[in-house]
Amino acid sequence: MIGIEKVLQNCNLYKSKKEVESNVITGKEFKEIRELKELSLRDVAKFCEVSPQLIGQIEQGKKYFTENNYKQIIDAMNLATVAKANGELKKTK
């Protein structure tokens, strides 16, 4: 299980590549957070310009976050969390 401090760090806006790299969570940690929030890969992908397959590959360690897609995917997960709380996401199996 990852610490809440690391989760909170990843909600911040990043100013440099070095700062992003020092705060990037792993794909496995991302998956733990996504599952804790009860979000599917499709829920997250709906809010960003990447496929559910890419997110799955990142979680499995087959692909890695890039400087460009890291913040986009984290922001998408946060948007999906809000949408779910507001009842805007359909239940997925």
pLDDT tens column, 59-73:
999 988 887 788 888
Contact 57, 63 (CB under 8 A): yes
- The rounded mean pLDDT for the chain is 77
The rounded distance, in Å, linking the Cα atoms of 10 and 65 is 13
pLDDT tens column, 14-40:
334 444 455 678 899 999 999 999 999
For the residues 81-88, what does the mean pLDDT come to? 89
The DSSP secondary structure of 31-73, one letter per residue, reads HHHHHHTT--HHHHHTTSSS-HHHHHHHHTTSS---HHHHHHH
Whether 42 has a pLDDT exceeding 70, the answer reads yes
Asked whether the whole model's pTM tops 0.75, one would answer no
pLDDT at residue 35, rounded to an integer: 93
Domain limits, the chain: 4-12+21-85
Residue 13 is classified by DSSP as P
Whether 7 has a pLDDT exceeding 50, the answer reads no
Q: What percent of the chain has pLDDT over 70?
A: 72
What is the end-to-end Cα distance of the chain in Å, rounded?
24
Considering the domain 4-12+21-85 in this protein, what is its CATH number?
1.10.260
